[in-house]
């Protein structure tokens, strides 16, 4: 299944990199749904993590990308949402493996941590990699069971 729709969000600290990565994805033919923020004015990242996760939960797109200063806060907030498996990645190997083995559906990274070129490489690995399933499915099922309090 080729993914051609993605949701993006950022806070003020990730805004500039979000715009650049969004343009990169659009140039590759992706439809990018931007849930905000719309400026570098200080804001709470939790608002945008929630908006992105809700969009995924509602079937707007299968994958999302969140950008803040480090990616850590966004990943923490995103992982509080049922059905969301967010991974903070600073390298291409982690981005590829989190899709292959964890079926991650949200990628998080930080504008203060990585540059534009690396961010695009990480995003490309994330969107181009499929979940392997097989023995990894049981682990993803265990993660999903945590959403149910099991």
Catalytically active residues, by annotation: 68, 101
> What does each C-alpha distance from 58 to 53, 61, 66, 119 come to in angstroms?
9, 8, 17, 26
Give the 3-state secondary structure of 93-148. Answer: HHHHHHHHHHCCCEEEEECCCCCHHHHHHHHHHHHHCCCCCCHHHHHHHHHHHHHC
């Amino acid at each position: 299944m080729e993914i051609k729709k993605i949701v993006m969000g950022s806070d003020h600290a990730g805004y500039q990199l979000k715009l650049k990565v969004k343009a990169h994805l659009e140039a590759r033919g992706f439809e990018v749904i931007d849930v905000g923020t719309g400026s570098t004015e200080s804001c709470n990242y939790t608002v945008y993590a929630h908006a992105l996760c809700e969009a995924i939960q509602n079937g707007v797109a299968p994958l999302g990308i969140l950008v803040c200063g480090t990616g850590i806060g966004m990943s923490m907030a995103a992982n509080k949402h049922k059905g969301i498996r967010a991974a903070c990645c600073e390298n291409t190997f982690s981005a590829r493996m989190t899709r292959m083995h964890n079926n991650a559906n949200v990628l998080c990274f930080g504008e203060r941590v990585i540059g534009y070129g690396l961010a695009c490489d990480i995003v490309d690995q994330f969107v181009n990699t499929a979940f392997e399933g097989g023995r990894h499915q049981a682990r993803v099922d265990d993660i999903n069971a945590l959403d149910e309090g099991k």
